Every structure is written in structure tokens, then in C-alpha cells.
């Protein structure tokens, strides 16, 4: 509505500062002058790189580490064309700006935060490989071939032929074990990159991992956080997807994205041939044994790994039903029954509420303190800035939100989280008081940094409240807290305070082991120990022992076992990090040089 202003003569101060810094960096990098480059960073500074410089997911902390990283990689990476995107902003003494850049092999996005004229946080990410760009937009396939061809194969015939051949007369380059949301999203990225891939899943239909669970299950994260790659939910999608709806979405997604998805298929073993550089993966495909020989093997088996099955004296004599939470079918069969749920994290709460809704007599056994956050508070105070309708309206696309989140180094992330949870504690003080009055043992994490840090450090220890906490506060779900289980009696659970809880059903909501348990189960204990524990980064807090490792162990990046990868996390992480995992695999398939910088030691095997 306005006349075009005269050509701008001056940049805003924040923008000028970012432009100048990027120019200085480019000058130093072009001159291969590592000292000059590191001098642009503050003493306390962090360069987080997602495969652009390091072919790894790695954070270099401080000038020395940044210098070492550059010494090792600069010549090969040959970075160039750093350019600001949009306008920089400034708040609380921090100047923030988006940029793009190129490397010898690809194109990248990044986010820079300056304190004064020195970099505080610097994120570099690779988003595509030169010469291997995804065929999208104007580059998309033509589709139906115009012209006339004798005995043409139709799209359907070619698709059916490809499906019949792959895994039999043609070997996939990659096999993804596990076809939940993680495996499906990664499968879509590999498909778009032209990496022949089979996704193996034990269930009959995509989405069954959701469908088969208790009926009140739903996503605890809101829709803006949950998009899969490429195909966002339509704009009427509910904030919290019910389990069957997300299951149907996944099933449609597999079809629309044209994945080679083997349902009713279970990987039974895998071994790596160091000489041939090739896996032997044995799959039971609906009763047929198929042996695959991919070059890359990805476990997308759920970041929670294999269920922790507890061992208590007397378990074998229990007369009722008993199972791990992962096998809990829902409360239909337990109306009027006495149910004891051992555990007090997400699953325990969900299952207690589900049993109560079905008219069961439910007792939760809380063995140690738990962090509780109301879903609404989490959404409004912790997520809304990045993942909400308001964020979208403010131009924070899902892609941008993912990068902003990724730009905060783990070393200092808790500092951003602590005030959020302090605000939540204040807002919901009355709620927490009621819970404590009912005897519930609360915590906020070792350093009061709340839910997301607990999730990253240990993947457990919390419940996003969608209703069960009120049942506990009101005594509708009975609570025994601060006790442990000492013995299972034929009709009861015996606790460390000497009391007994009569039980027709025991649910062991006792959590999961590390994902490398899958390597132990399917490959060998030796390989599982070689790659070590997955998840956590050595924060030296409860269940995340040190030393400091700086990035989630083994996730989406090379492991100590060549050609073995772990993929997982929540929908946000799977969506974002599947990009880097897919590019790492594509680069190897195309024979690009992919030296991995910063492979750490393995300090923990489980």
C-alpha cells in the first residue's frame, strides 16, 4: 500500500553487526586463518555443528575446541558464501541473526548469537548435498510419461516391480528396523533422497504401535510440535491427536510417501561383515525368512529401548495378571478389580487413569520422586514461543523453530529452562500443594530445570499431566509413595514399609533400557558394549552420569560400530534430526568423503 522507499543506505545496527561478523568469519576461514576465526568467538562460546563441518553432531565449546575443530576440518569443508537472511534482532544484549552458507559438498543454514561483537552461540547445519538435491518444486518429477511407448510399464507396475525386487533380487542400501513415527519419517527422507530403503516393522499396519495401546492414549505434545517431514498436518488437525487418529495419519503417510514398508516383519538378527562392508540382516516377514544385505543399518526402535522387566521375589507365584506397561492392553478387563501400578512416570499415570476410568480400584506405587507439569502450562510457558499457532503467525515456521531449538547448546540449555519451570511452579502452586498433600513426591530435576532437561538427560522421571494428577490429589487413584517393592505375594504386592496391596493386576511401569539393548539383542553384546549407552550427554545428574559428552550419545550420528545408526526421540526430534541422519547415509551411498570429527569415548555401556 505504500510507495517504494528509496534504496536503503544503512542497515540496522543488529543487522550490520551480524553482517560484519559473518564477513570477518568468512575472511578468516577463506584465509585458513584459524586463529583469526577463533578470535571472533567469546571465551564462553559454542559452535554447534550438525554435519556441515564435522560429519557429526558435535558442539565445540570455547575457543580452543573451536580452533581444534577448524584445524581438523577447514581445508576439506572449504566454507563460503556466508550471508545473512532477513534482519537480525537484539534483546538483552544478545544479537541474533539467521544465515546461509555453502561447503565444498553442500548448502547450510545457521543461527548466530553475538554478545557484543563476539559469537556466543553459532549453529551450522547442512540441509542438502550439491548434486543430490531432493527433486522438489520446479525440480519435481514429471510423473506420467507423455508420448507413446510400446508395452510401457505404468507407475503402478513399476512400483509393484520395485516392491517385488527390493530385498530379493535387489538389495536395499539401508534397512530401518522399526516403523513407528521415527522410522517412517526417516524412511520418507531416504526415499526423497533416492536411497533404496526397507523399513521393517513387526505390526500388521503402520500406526499399530499407537492403535494397540490403551484407548485414552494421546499425544502429550501439541500439533505444532508434531509434524512429520514434508507433509504437515492440515490446519484443522486437533491440538492433541488421539492415538487412533495419529495411527491413521502414519498409515496414510507411508502410502503417500511411497515407502518400502514391510509390515508384519521382525528383524531377528544382524551382523556386520567388516571386509564386505555390509550387513546381514535376517527378517521374519510374515513367516517367511528373508535375508537382507544393506550397507547401512538403522535402529528406529523407539528411543526408550527394551522394557525394563523387574525381578521381585515371588513373581512366579502371583495368581493374577501381571505385565510391563508396554504390554498393557487398556482397562476394559479390569472393572472392579484391584490393580497395582508400580511406577510413577508418564506410562504409570496414563495407565492408572485408564484403569480408574474403567472402574478399577487402582493404587500407584511411587518409589521415587517425579516431576509433574500440567500439559496446558507446558504448552503455554515452555513451548508456545516456538510451537504454537501464535508462533506460526509470527513467522516461526516449524523449520525455524527446530533450528532455534537446536541452536541452544546442551551445556547451557538448563539455564534457559530453569526460569520457565519457576514460572510454572508459581502458576500452578495450588495444584502442586494438593498433590503433595496427597503424599505425592515431587521434584523439578536435580537443578530445577524441569521436564525437557530430564527428557534429554535420562528420558524418564516425569509426567505431563493430562488428568491423572487430579485423580491422585483427590484420592481416586490411591497412592503409596516413598516405598519399594520387596516381594510379590500370590494375591498382593508387599512393600518396604511392610504393608501389602491386594492385587488382581500388577502393571510394571518400570521404564525402558537404553536403545543399545537392541544392538545386544539383535547383533551382539559385544557390539552393544562397543557403541555404548544411547541418549543422555553426561550431565552428571541423576541417571545421566558424567563425564560431560556434550551431545546425545549415539543419536542420529556415527557410532563406534561402522554403518550402525540409532534414530528416535519425540516427533520434533525425529522430524528434525532425521534430515541429518538421512544426509549422512546419502553421502556415504554417493561415495562422498565423510571423515567424522569428534567421535567421543564410550564411558557407559548401558
**Which residues between 388 and 417 bind its own copies (CB under 8 A)?**
389-390, 392
Distance CA 287, CA 536 (A): 37
Q: Find the helix or strand (DSSP H, E) in which 146 lies.
A: none
**φ and ψ at 513, to 5 degrees?**
-85, 180
Residue placing its CB nearer to its own copies in the complex, 44 or 357: 357
d(CA 292, CA 298): 13
Q: How far is the CB of 488 from its own copies (least distance, A)?
A: 28
Among 2, 169, 289, 498, binds its own copies (CB under 8 A): 2
Instruction: Count the neighbouring beta carbons within 10 Å of the beta carbon of residue 281.
Output: 25
**Which residue, 601, 388, 340, 363, is CA-closest to 491?**
340
Separation of alpha carbons 91 and 88, rounded Å? 10
What secondary structure does DSSP assign to 288-353, as a single string?
Answer: EEEEE--SEEEE-S-TT-SB-----TTGGG--SEEEEGGG---GGGGTT-EEEEE--SHHHHHHHH
Please report how close the Cβ of residue 463 comes to its own copies at its closest, in angstroms. Answer: 13
CB under 8 Å, gap of 24 or more: what pairs does 1-10 form?
Answer: none
From the list 81-89, 307-315, 400-408, 560-568, the region that binds its own copies by CB under 8 A is: 81-89
Applying the rule CB under 8 A, the residues between 245 and 284 that interact with its own copies are 245, 248-249, 251-252, 255-257
Which of 325, 544, 345 lies closest to 461 in space, CA to CA?
A: 345
Each residue 169-198 as x (binds its own copies by CB under 8 A) or -, in order, gives -----------------------x------
Query: Residues 29-68: x/- map of binding to its own copies (CB under 8 A)?
Result: ----------------------------------------
Min CB(595)–its own copies separation in Å = 31
Cis bond leading into 456, ω under 30°?
A: no
Site string for its own copies, 107-146 (x = CB under 8 A): ---------------------------xxxxx-xxxxx-x
Question: Which of 25, 52, 66, 84 is the binder for its own copies (CB under 8 A)?
Answer: 84
Q: Considering beta carbons, is residue 90 or 448 the nearer one to its own copies? A: 90
Q: Which is nearer to its own copies, 231 or 429 (CB)?
A: 231
- Measured from the CB atom, the residue of 244 and 590 that comes closer to its own copies is 244
- Under rule CB under 8 A, which residues in 365-384 are in contact with its own copies? 375-376
- Nearer to its own copies by C-beta: 223 or 515? 223
Among 159, 161, 276, 277, binds its own copies (CB under 8 A): 159
**Interface positions, 193-232, toward its own copies (CB under 8 A):** 215-216, 218-219, 223, 230-231
> Is 87 a binder of its own copies (CB under 8 A)?
yes
Residues 335-364 that bind its own copies (CB under 8 A): 353, 356-359
Nearest to 551 by CA among 606, 605, 597: 597
Nearer to its own copies, 236 or 275 (CB): 236
81 binds its own copies (CB under 8 A): no
- Alpha-carbon distance of 516 to 551, in angstroms, equals 16
Q: Which residues lie closer than 8 Å to 363 by C-beta, 6 or more apart?
A: 338, 339, 340, 341, 477, 478, 479, 480, 501
Nearer CB in complex with its own copies: 256/286: 256
| 3-state SS class at 188 | helix
Name the one range near its own copies by CB under 8 A: 237-245, 285-293, 408-416, 558-566: 237-245
Report the residue number, 243 or 337, with the smaller CB distance to its own copies.
243
Q: How far is the CB of 142 from its own copies (least distance, A)?
A: 5
Q: Among 203, 204, 201, which Cα is nearest to 267's?
A: 201
CB distance 336 to 425 below 8 Å: no
Site mask for its own copies (CB under 8 A), range 458-487, x = bound:
--------xxx-xx----x-----------
- Distance of closest approach, residue 84 Cβ to its own copies, in angstroms: 7
Q: What is the distance between the alpha carbons of residues 345 and 459, in angstroms, rounded to a whole number?
A: 10
- In the complex, the smallest distance separating the C-beta of residue 472 from its own copies, rounded to whole angstroms, is 10
Of 291-320, which residues contact its own copies (CB under 8 A)?
Answer: none
For the CA atoms of 178, 180, 181, 186, what is the dihedral angle to 10 degrees? 20
Is there binding between residue 154 and its own copies (CB under 8 A)? yes
Question: What are residue 434's phi and psi, to 5 degrees?
Answer: -65, -40
Amino acid at each position: 500500500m505504500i510507495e517504494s522507499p528509496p534504496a536503503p543506505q544503512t542497515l540496522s545496527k543488529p543487522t550490520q553487526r551480524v553482517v560484519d561478523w559473518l564477513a570477518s568469519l568468512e575472511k578468516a576461514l577463506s584465509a585458513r586463518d584459524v586463529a583469526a576465526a577463533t578470535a571472533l568467538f567469546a571465551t564462553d562460546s559454542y559452535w554447534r555443528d550438525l554435519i556441515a563441518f564435522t560429519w557429526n553432531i558435535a558442539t565445540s565449546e570455547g575457543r580452543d575446541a573451536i580452533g581444534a575443530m577448524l584445524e581438523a576440518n577447514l581445508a576439506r569443508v572449504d566454507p563460503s558464501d556466508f550471508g545473512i537472511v532477513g534482519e537480525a534482532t537484539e534483546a538483552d544484549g544478545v544479537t541474533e541473526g539467521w544465515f546461509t552458507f555453502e561447503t565444498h559438498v553442500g548448502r547450510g543454514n545457521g543461527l548466530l548469537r553475538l554478545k557484543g561483537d563476539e559469537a556466543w552461540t553459532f549453529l551450522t547445519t547442512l540441509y542438502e548435498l550439491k548434486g543430490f538435491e531432493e527433486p522438489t518444486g520446479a525440480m519435481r518429477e514429471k510423473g506420467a510419461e507423455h508420448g507413446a511407448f510400446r508395452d510401457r510399464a505404468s507407475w503402478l507396475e513399476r512400483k509393484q516391480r520395485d516392491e517385488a525386487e527390493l530385498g530379493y533380487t535387489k538389495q536395499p542400501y539401508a534397512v530401518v528396523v522399526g516403523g513407528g513415527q521415527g522410522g517412517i519419517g526417516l524412511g520418507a527422507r531416504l526415499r526423497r533422497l533416492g536411497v533404496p530403503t526397507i523399513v521393517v516393522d513387526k505390526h500388521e499396519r503402520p500406526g499399530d504401535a499407537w492403535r494397540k495401546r490403551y484407548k485414552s492414549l494421546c499425544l502429550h505434545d501439541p500439533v505444532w510440535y508434531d509434524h512429520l517431514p514434508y507433509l504437515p498436518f492440515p490446519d484443522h488437525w486437533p491440538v492433541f491427536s488421539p492415538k487412533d487418529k495419529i495411527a491413521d495419519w502414519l498409515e496414510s503417510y507411508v502410502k503417500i510417501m511411497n515407502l518400502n514398508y514391510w509390515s508384519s516383519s521382525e528383524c531377528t538378527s544382524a551382523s556386520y561383515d567388516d571386509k564386505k562392508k555390509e550387513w546381514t540382516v535376517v527378517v521374519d516377514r510374515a513367516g517367511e525368512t528373508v535375508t537382507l544385505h544393506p550397507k547401512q543399518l538403522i535402529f528406529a526402535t523407539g528411543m526408550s529401548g527394551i522394557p525394563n522387566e523387574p525381578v521381585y521375589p515371588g513373581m512366579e507365584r502371583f495368581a493374577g495378571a501381571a505385565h510391563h506397561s508396554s504390554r498393557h492392553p487398556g482397562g476394559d478387563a479390569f472393572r472392579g478389580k484391584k490393580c497395582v501400578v508400580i511406577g510413577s512416570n508418564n506410562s504409570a499415570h496414563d495407565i492408572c487413569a485408564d484403569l480408574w476410568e474403567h472402574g478399577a480400584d487402582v493404587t500407584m506405587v511411587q518409589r521415587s520422586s517425579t516431576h509433574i507439569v500440567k500439559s496446558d502450562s507446558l504448552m503455554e510457558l515452555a513451548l508456545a514461543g516456538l510451537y504454537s499457532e501464535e508462533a506460526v503467525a509470527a513467522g516461526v515456521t516449524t523449520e525455524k523453530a527446530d533450528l532455534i531449538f537446536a541452536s541452544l547448546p546442551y551445556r547451557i540449555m538448563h539455564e534457559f529452562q530453569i526460569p520457565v519451570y519457576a514460572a510454572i511452579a508459581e502458576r500452578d502452586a495450588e495444584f502442586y500443594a494438593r498433590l503433595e498433600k496427597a503424599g505425592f513426591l515431587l521434584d523439578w530435576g536435580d537443578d530445577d530445570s524441569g521436564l525437557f532437561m530430564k527428557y534429554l538427560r535420562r528420558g524418564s522421571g516425569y509426567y505431563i499431566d493430562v488428568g491423572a494428577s487430579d485423580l491422585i490429589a483427590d484420592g481416586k487413584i490411591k497412592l503409596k509413595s516413598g516405598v519399594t517393592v520387596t516381594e510379590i505375594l500370590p494375591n498382593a504386592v508387599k512393600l518396604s514399609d511392610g504393608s501389602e496391596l491386594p492385587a488382581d493386576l500388577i502393571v510394571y511401569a518400570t521404564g525402558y533400557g537404553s536403545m543399545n539393548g537392541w544392538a545386544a539383542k539383535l547383533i551382539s553384546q559385544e557390539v552393544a558394549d562397543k557403541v555404548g549407552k544411547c541418549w543422555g550427554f553426561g550431565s552428571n545428574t541423576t541417571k545421566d552420569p558424567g563425564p560431560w559428552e556434550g551431545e546425545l550419545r549415539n543419536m542420529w550420528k556415527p557410532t563406534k560400530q561402522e554403518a550402525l545408526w540409532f534414530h528416535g526421540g519425540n516427533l520434533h526430534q525425529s522430524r528434525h534430526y532425521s534430515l541429518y541422519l538421512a544426509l549422512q547415509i546419502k553421502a556415504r551411498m554417493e561415495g562422498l568423503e565423510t571423515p567424522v570429527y569428534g567421535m567421543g569415548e564410550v564411558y557407559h555401556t548401558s
